[in-house]
Amino acid sequence: MSEELCRKLKYRFNNPDLLKVALTHRSSMDQNNERLEFLGDSIVNCIIAEALFQQFPRSQEGELSRWRATLINRETLAKLAREFDLGRYLFLGPGELKSGGSQRLSILSCAMEAIIGAIYLDSSFEKVSECVLDWYAPLLQSLSNAASHKDPKTVLQEYLQSHHKPLPTYHVESIQGEAHNQVFIVSCEIEGVIEKAIGNGTSRRRAEQDAAEAMLGMIKHE
């Protein structure tokens, strides 16, 4: 069974006993995975923090922290564990076996962290980083996709906050055309920026997005 799990993890242990300990819940025996879980928790946080730091060079601490929290929590780690069908390989005490512990969120997430700690001890930080980044690749890619599809108003607000500047105000300058075919003209102003940006669109929201995009272009080229 350990060979099967190693294929799923894409890592073969030099010391199989480390894997066995990582899969052993405290309900099963004294030598359990709690210490490896402690180690793995710190390691995965470091790996994902660096990955986010490199992947999003313009993001500030607050946003990076939020993204890390979405990637490293019980739900995400348990989901990862289920992808490897980790519950099948766990060593649990009789009580946990009867109560369905092999699919419990807390047990799966802790075992996943313990495996990360075990791979680190069995190899190196470089190797465990390679494994973790491979497992997390789809999730990291989904963050990139989400970040690239942020609307201009959100991007402008985050840019201003990161540079400790006041937030923008939007004002409808005019509404042109017939009721069924209107065009909104909206201005975007920022205190301290002399020129205001103008945007237009078939709705107020679209016009504000257009104005925000124009303002971004202005202030980034000041």
* Residue environment code for 98-118, b if the CB has 16+ CB neighbours within 10 A, otherwise e: eeebbebeebbbbbbbbbbbb
Q: What is the pLDDT of residue 142?
A: 86
- Is the pTM value of this prediction over 0.85? no
pLDDT band at 149 (very low <50, low <70, confident <90, very high): low
Give CA–CA dist 9/135, Å, rounded: 8
Q: Is residue 169 predicted with pLDDT exceeding 90?
A: yes
Q: Which of 30-44, 114-128, 192-206 has the weakest average pLDDT?
A: 192-206
Domains of the chain (ranges, CATH numbers): 2-148 (1.10.1520.10), 152-220 (3.30.160.20)
Q: What are 17-68's pLDDT values in tens digits?
A: 999 999 999 888 778 999 999 999 999 999 999 999 999 887 778 778 888 9
The catalytic site residues sit at: 41, 113
Distance linking the first and last C-alpha atoms of the chain: 62
Structure-token pair, residue 90: 């766990």
Residue in this structure with the two tokens 């052993």, named with its chain if needed: 24
Give CA–CA dist 37/57, Å, rounded: 30
Burial of 119 (0-12, 13-18, 19+ CB in 10 A): buried
The whole-angstrom distance between residue 133's C-alpha and the CA centroid of its chain comes to: 12
> Which 3 state secondary structure label does DSSP give 192?
coil
Q: Is residue 166 predicted with pLDDT exceeding 80?
A: yes
Structure-token pair, residue 153: 């108003």
Long-range contacts of 11-19, Cβ-Cβ distance < 8 Å, separation of 24 or more = 11/119, 11/123, 11/127, 11/131, 13/118, 13/119, 13/122, 14/122, 14/123, 15/122, 18/118, 18/121, 18/122, 19/115, 19/118
- Percentages helix, strand, coil for the chain, rounded to the nearest 5? 65, 10, 25
Structure-token pair, residue 50: 């660096």
